[in-house]
Amino acid sequence: MKPTRIRLNRGENSLQLVYPDREYTLPAEYLRVYSPSAEVRGHGPGEGVLVHGKIHVGIDTVEAAGRYALKLVFSDGHDSGIYTWDYLRELCEQHDTYWRDYLERLQAAGKGRDPDESVVKFIP
């Protein structure tokens, strides 16, 4: 389902998507770490990478990709993901679950949201 309105909020580093039934605000960091690009997802099952250190990333531009998607250009230069309307709605509806999963994967990998930090694991 295509949103009825899309608004980039640079001050809050977020993208607002308005649908007939609900309104969502997705942080740029969330959109960046869940980019549908091959760089993030890989070319096949199990080939994806854990993107980390993107807490300060912003969205520079939002471009239409035909009539079926958006192309987001991020402040870190990432611009290869095409976010279909269906995928954007999925990211909206599954935000809490996906974000919790992402934070758990970061912790398990000893990575952090800030590019200048990582989780330190002490070995007894």
| Whole-structure pTM value | 0.90
The pLDDT assigned to 123 comes to: 56
- Sheet arrangement for strand 59-65: 59-65, 69-74, 82-84
**31 three-state secondary structure:** helix
What DSSP string describes 35-66? Answer: --SHHHH-SSTT------S-TT--EEEEEEET
Residues in the chain, pLDDT under 50:
none
The pLDDT assigned to 120 comes to: 54
Token look-up 């295509």 returns 2
CA distance 103 to 117: 14
Complete domains list, the chain, with CATH: 5-109 (3.30.2020.30)
